[in-house]
């Protein structure tokens, strides 16, 4: 089975313009993501709509492809990039361009999900560390999910799920296991093509979570559990946090 990693990267961002080119320890964020992904994958491509990102990737020896600026989501950009590079990979892995410390073994976990021929889409989750406190779990920028016994996602939400009845919220993390979503996806190539043709759905629009469109249309999402810590960067403040931990991640 052949795998390709595609990293969607936009220059425009309301909270952090030019984020993929932000410097972390002497390398751009996009270079860090690319090099880590390349430790596990033979083929990695950056999909961008901006020549500055394209030029930066090719300058460090990476592979990049230009895509439309009008895509609704990173998944749509990944599908176009897969078609544009003429790949014959069986599975496409959508790697977030703002996760500079992604662990290669997280990608390896996704790959093993496709040992099951019934798996069409896979993603990662992390068991919530209750030492972080209830407020961290309550954060709407951290999607939560619940799983069935076959490790398929039942639902994703920005709210806390499951609801723990007959307990005060201060006791919730002591009385249930919570999972938070890690935004790394893999799809069989035919499935990627199909899901990008779907219309937006009510639950997706309500939660602003694209994966709910797939679930509402009957697709199952297999979930692997990772224990790797990563830092997603959405703001300049997140970047400062990432830089403060660079030695910890680089020496891991």
Tens-place pLDDT, residues 41-79: 999 999 999 999 999 999 999 999 999 888 888 899 999
CATH number of 1-98: 3.90.550.10
Please tell me the class of the 103-229 domain.
alpha beta
- Kindly list the domain boundaries of the chain, sorted by start residue: 1-98, 103-229
Mean pLDDT of the chain: 93
Query: H or E element: which one contains 112?
Result: helix 104-113
Over range 206-213, report the average pLDDT: 97
Report the alpha-carbon distance of residue 49 to residue 68 in Å, rounded: 6
Domains 1-98 and 103-229 share a fold: yes
pLDDT (0 to 100) of residue 17:
87
- Cβ neighbours for 44, distance < 8 A, ≥ 6 positions apart: 4, 5, 6, 7, 34, 37, 38, 62, 63, 95
What is this structure's pTM?
0.93
Beta strands in the chain (DSSP E): 3-9, 23-24, 27-28, 44-48, 64-66, 91-94, 121-127, 144-147, 153-157, 179-188, 221-225
Contact 109, 182 (CB under 8 A): no
Over range 106-113, report the average pLDDT: 97
Contact 101, 81 (CB under 8 A): no
Over range 116-137, report the average pLDDT: 95
Q: Identify the CA nearest to 179 among candidates 213, 207, 148.
A: 148
Using pLDDT thresholds of 50, 70 and 90, give the confidence band for residue 251: low
């Amino acid at each position: 089975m052949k795998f390709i990693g595609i990293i969607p990267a936009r220059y425009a961002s309301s909270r952090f313009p030019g984020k993929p080119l932000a410097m972390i320890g002497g390398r751009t964020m996009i270079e860090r993501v690319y090099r880590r992904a390349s430790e596990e994958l033979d083929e990695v491509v950056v999909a961008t709509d901006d020549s500055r990102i394209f030029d930066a990737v090719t300058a460090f020896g990476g592979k990049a492809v230009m895509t439309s600026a009008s895509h609704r989501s990173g998944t749509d950009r990944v599908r176009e990039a897969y078609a544009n590079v003429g790949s014959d990979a069986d599975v496409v892995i959508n790697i977030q361009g703002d996760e500079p410390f992604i662990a290669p073994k997280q990608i390896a976990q996704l790959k093993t999900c496709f040992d099951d021929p019934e798996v069409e889409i896979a993603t990662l989750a992390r068991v919530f560390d209750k030492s972080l406190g209830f407020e961290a779990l309550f954060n709407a920028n951290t999607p939560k999910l619940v799983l069935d016994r076959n490790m398929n996602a039942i639902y994703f939400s920005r709210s806390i799920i499951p609801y723990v009845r007959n307990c005060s919220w201060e006791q919730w993390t002591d009385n249930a296991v919570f999972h938070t979503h890690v935004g790394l996806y893999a799809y069989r190539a035919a499935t990627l093509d199909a899901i990008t043709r779907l219309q937006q759905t009510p639950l997706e629009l309500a939660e602003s979570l694209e994966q709910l469109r797939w679930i509402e249309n009957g697709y199952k999402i297999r979930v692997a559990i990772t224990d790797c810590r990563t830092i997603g960067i959405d703001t300049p403040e997140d970047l400062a946090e990432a830089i403060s931990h660079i030695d910890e991640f680089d020496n891991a």
